[in-house]
Structure formats: structure tokens, C-alpha cells
Structure 1
Amino acid sequence: MFEILSITTPIFLLIGAGYLAMGTRLINREQMQGVATFVLYFALPALVIRALTQNPLDEVFQPHYLLAYGLGSLAVFAFALLLTLALQRKPLSEGAIHALGMAASNSGFVGYPVAAMVLGTSPAAVFLALNMLIENLLIIPAALILAEAGRQSGAGIVTAARKTFVRLARNPILIGLALGLLLAVTETAPPRPLAQVVDMLANAAGPAALFVIGGTLFGLQVRGMLGDVGQIVGGKLILHPLAVLGFFLLMPQTDPMLLAGALLFACAPMISVYPLLGQRYGMAGVSAAALMVGTLAAFVTLNLAIGLMNSYGLLPTR
């Protein structure tokens, strides 16, 4: 247990450092947003590019991973919609945001740093690239299209879909994915100075991302929303990893490293922009509270998941 805590404690200490920096007013909200912009627009794209160019393409592209993780995420997404729409009679927009919170992990800001500590930076970067494909091309667009359709009472869904994909085309991480794939397919090595810049930016991704998460949590409230928050957090931290595990077990000859990576990313809390997306559809308070509770609860669930994976021999010996 102490060995596991020695892996995860630095991660949550960095989150605590970001929270403390905001709490002591060492950094204000705008400055923290600047760090977040650096991570999103520079560090994470560089990390993805390095993963795609430093590893053979056949090692990066893992169809079993994409299929199992994608189906597990879609299953949770569909369950959340069924629960909120059919049983709880919530509006479509609200159901879509619930589903997004339960099925999309914070892969860049939490999943990657945790996986890098547990599995190593190289495999963690590969898993990050795979997860970005699933989340940015499947789960997030589906949630935003449904939420927009619900807000417009079913009208303009084609327009909503077009605007969503145009917005995603400008996503810096997806641009990094496209550039990395182009370099990998053409077997083009970037000039040495540029490669060194990419490497330096990639190394900064994990610590800076965790620091931003801590700052984001400062000031969030949970009052009066325990039912919805508990449902979203429970779905994300418990149901999502179990669904991903179930689909991996259905796959023939599952690679233990792929399964370990998928579970670590699935155990991460919801995406960091969740409150921003929720605010657009009248769920600012619930989504912000879910992010706070989910991130704090992940300290327990991630340690538990790592302990179980270690017991079953899924983790590499350190």
C-alpha cells in the first residue's frame, strides 16, 4: 500500500500546490488560465507528437484498445442517457451533459500524469493519443450535438453537428495528432532543435496539468446538488472503469499493458472543461461540483485501482 501511495501522492501534492497557489492568492484566476492555455495549446500537443514520432506506428495504433475503450465509453454514455431521459425525465441537454461527465475522462490533465508515474512516460503518451481520438472524435461531439439539439427542441441538429466538428477541427490536441500522424506515416524526423523543443514541452505537460487542476478546484461549491453530483461521479469513477474492463475481457488475447493503461485513464475524473460545457446548457453548478468531488474522490479510487491491478500482475515491476 505504501508503494502505491508513493506513486500517487506526488500527483495529488501537485494538485494541492495549484489549489494552495489560488487559495493564498499567489496566482489569480487569469494567471492560472494562462498556465492552462500553455498546457492545452503547447505541452499536450507536443506530448502527442512525441508519442507518435518516437514509437513505431504499429505500436501506437492499437485497434483492440480503441475498440474496447470506445465501446466501454459508449456503453456508459448510453446508460447515462437512458437513466436521465427515460427514468428521471430530465431534458435532453441535461442528459447529454450527465452522459459526458460519466463517459469522458480527464486524459490530458489527470490520466496521463498518473499513467506516466505508474507505467512510464512512453506508454502513457501512446495511451493519451489513443484516448484523445476516442474522446474528441466520439464522446465529446456526441454529447455536444445532443445537448445542442435538446436546447433547440430538436431543431437544427445538422447545424449543431457541423459547428461542433468545425470547433473540434481547431482543437490543438487534434492538430497535434494530425501532425504527429503525418510525420509518422511519412517517416519524417523533425530537425533536431525542433525535436528538442517538442521534448521539453512534452516533459512539462504532466506537472503543469496537475497544477492547473488544483487551481481549477479552488472555490467550487457542492451545496444542494448531491444527488446529481453523486450520480455523475459514481458513473465516472466506478461504472466507466468497470465497463472498459468488461469490454477488454471480451477481447481475445488482451495485452496486460493495454488493459492497465485503459483502466488508469478510465479511473480519471471527468474532463477539466466540463464546467464550461455544462454552463452553456444550464448545468454550471452541477458540473463544477462534479469536477471537484470527482477529482478529490479519484485519490481513493485511483489508489484502489492501482492496488488491485498490482495484485493481479497487470502493472510492470518497478
Structure 2
Amino acid sequence: MLAIFLKTLPFFALIGLGYWAGRSRFFSAEATACLTKFVFFFALSAMLFRFSANLSLAEVWDSRLVIAYLWGTGFVYGIVSFVGFLRGLDVATNAVEAQSAVIGNTGFLGVPMLTLLLGPEAIGPVLLVLAIDLVVFSSLFVILIAGARDGQISLRLLRSIGLGLIGNPMIVAISLGFLWSGLALPLPDPVNEFTAILGGAATPGALFAIGASLATKSAERLQIAGWLSFCKLVLHPLFVACGALLLFGVEPYKAGVIIATAALPVAGNVYMLAQHYRVAPQRVSAAILVSTALSIVSVSLIIGWVTGV
């Protein structure tokens, strides 16, 4: 456990450094937004393209893994939605809380950290989880909120969701990478080196950006934030583990990777969606802050468990 904690500590130290920079105003909100945009559209996209271009989709795809992750995530989504229903929440707010409970910071934190801690073989399962989160659950979130407001699911809504997916640089980078791989063409050395250099900025840039953005988050609604953090850091990996190890027989190493991915704290893009649709952004903000702070210990425990350390 101590060995894993010491390995994860530098990642969270970078988040802490970013938090200090944002909190002290050394790094302004505008600078944080620019850094986040650079990482999102350039550095992280280059890393994801390079990873996927050097893999084949056949190597990455695992039906059992996909079903296990969908089952575990869907189960927690249902639990949070049911509790929200009992609390009298409207559909939109319920969707925000359910999204917070199952969508982890896979892009900015999971991709760089888990591939280093669990080995390069982890990238395939991590990419699958990232794709499921972006395509399935982000689309579900938009459908629930827009459907609740309009009272129906329209073709315009589905078109908007499709355009949003096509415009997401992470989805584009992964898709282009697998397309390149599918053509059985090796990456030219200059392209490989360019994406390696640019992608190398993703890890420190993403972690620093996470911390700097956390400095702008409020800690209101701590009771709700505590509940959502418990669901994200405990229930989500627990149910994914049940699905992967007990129900669907996922290969142990891959199961460990998706369990660790499920244990990541609440993703910042949930806050962006909540803010965009003007639905409970404060409670998402608090959940991100609390879950990220608690994950310093919880992620180490989960990784220590799945690796047997």
C-alpha cells in the first residue's frame, strides 16, 4: 500500500501545485482555461492518437469488459437515480448527480496515471472505458436533460448529440488512431516523434490544470458531495469489480484496470455540462473537490488491491 501511495503521490502533488497556483492567483482563471484548452485539444489528443495508432481495435476490444463496465456503471447510475427520486429531485438534477457518481476523470488523470502505474498494456482497457463514458453516458445525460425540458426526444436533439461527439477531440483522436492502425500503416518517424513530444505535455499539463481548476470550485453542499464521492470512489469500483470478476469473467489484468479506472474522482467535464445546461453546477463543483481530495488515499488503496501490492 505504501509503495503504491508513493507512486501515486507525484501525480496528486502536481494537482496540488496547480491548486496552489490557482488559489494564490499566480495562475489566473483565464490562464487555467487556456492551459485546459491546450491539453484537451492538443496534448491529450496527440497522446490518445499515438496510443491508438499503435494498437489494433481487435487488440483493444473486449466484449466481456464492455458489458461488465456498462453493468457496474449502470447499476450505480440506477442507485443514485433512485435515491434522487426518493429525495424528490427533478429529472435534470437527478441526471447531474447520477453523472457525477459514475464519470471519472479518465482523460486528464486516468490515461496518464494508470498507463504509468499499471503498465502500457492498460491503455486498451482505459481507452474503452473513456469511449463508453463519452459516447454512452454523456449522451444519456444530454438526452435526459433536454428530454425533460422539451418533453420529447427530437431529431434535432439527436443531431446535436451526434455533432457533439464528432466534435470531441478525444473521440476524434481515438477514432483517427484506430483508423490509421486499421490501414496497417506504421506511423512515420517524424509523426511518431511529434505526437510523442506533444503528448508528453499531456500528463503534467492535465494534472496541473485539474488542480488550478479545483481552486475555482466551491465546497458547498458538502453532505451531497460526500454522498456522490462515496458513490464514485467506493460504489462505482465495487460494482464494476462484481461485474468484471464475478459475473462476466473478464481477464484479471483487464478487470483490475477498469476497476482502477472506475475508482477515479469525478470528472471536470461533468461540471462543464452542468454549467452549460445550468443544472446544479455547485453540487458538481463540490463533488469534484471532495472526491479528488479523498482519491489521494482511495485510488492508492484500489490500485494496491488490484495489483496485489
TM-score bin, normalised by smaller chain: over 0.9
Q: 2:217 matched to 1:212?
A: no
Instruction: Say yes or no: does 1:255 pair with 2:254.
Output: no
Report the CA distance between 1:165 and its aligned residue.
Answer: 2.1
**Letter of the 2:106 counterpart:** S
Relative to 1, partners in 2 of residues 1:273 and 1:56: Cα closer, same or farther, differing over 3 Å? closer
1:173 aligned onto 2:167: no
Q: Distance in 2 between matches of 1:166 and 1:174?
A: 12
Inter-partner Cα distance in structure 1 for 2:248 and 2:89: 39
Q: Which amino acid aligns with 1:36?
A: T
Native 8 Å contact 2:36 2:206 kept in 1: yes
Q: Distance in 1 between matches of 2:291 and 2:249?
A: 32
Q: Is the Cα contact below 8 Å between 1:244 and 1:263 reproduced in 2?
A: yes
Structure 1 match to 2:115: 116
Q: Show structure 1 runs of 4+ deviating over 6 A.
A: none
SS of the aligned residue for 2:30 comes to helix
Conservation of the 8 A alpha-carbon contact between 2:56 and 2:178: no
Alpha-carbon distance, 1:247 to partner? 0.5
> Residues of 2 paired with 1:93 and 1:104: CA distance?
16
Q: Which range is displaced more, 161-170 or 289-298?
A: 161-170
| 1:90 counterpart residue number | 89
Q: Which runs of 5+ in 2 are unaligned?
A: none
Residue type of the alignment partner of 1:107: T
Q: CA deviation at 1:272?
A: 1.1
Relative to structure 1, the CA distance from residue 185 to residue 251 in structure 2 (aligned partners, 3 Å threshold; closer, same or farther) is farther
The structural deviation recorded for 1:231 is 2.0
Q: Is the 8 A contact 1:48 1:126 kept in 2?
A: no
1:286 aligns with 2:297: no
Structure 2 CA distance, aligned partners of 1:227 and 1:24? Answer: 27
- Determine if contact 1:148/1:157 at 8 Å carries over to the other structure: no
Pairwise CA RMSD of aligned residues? 1.8
In the TM superposition, what are the counterparts of 1:64-143 in structure 2 within 5 Å? 64-85=64-85, 87-120=86-119, 122-143=120-141
Q: Percent sequence identity over matched residues?
A: 29
Q: Measured at CA, do residues 149 and 32 of structure 1 come closer, stay the same or move farther in structure 2, by a change above 3 Å? A: same
Q: Per-residue CA shift, 1:240-281, capped at 9, x if unaligned?
A: 101100100235553221011111110001111222212223
Runs of 5+ consecutive residues of structure 1 not aligned to the other structure: none
- Aligned partners of 1:269 and 1:298 also within 8 Å: yes
Between the two proteins, the alignment pairs up a number of residues equal to: 308
Q: Quick check: 276-285 or 208-217, which moved more?
A: 276-285
Give the TM-score of the pair, scaled to structure 1.
0.91
Pairing of 1:180-259 with structure 2 (within 5 A)? 180-223=177-220, 225-251=221-247, 253-259=249-255
Report 1 or 2 for greater relative contact order, CA contacts < 8 Å, sequence distance ≥ 6. 2
Q: For the residues of structure 2 that align with 1:263 and 1:136, how far apart are their CA atoms? A: 18
1:175 deviates by 0.7
Shift of 1:14: 0.5
CA 1:253–1:230: 2 relative to 1, 3 Å: closer
Check if 1:60 corresponds to 2:60: yes
Contact 1:7–1:117 (CA<8 Å) still a contact in 2? Answer: no
Aligned to 2:298: 301
The TM-score with structure 2 as length reference comes to 0.93
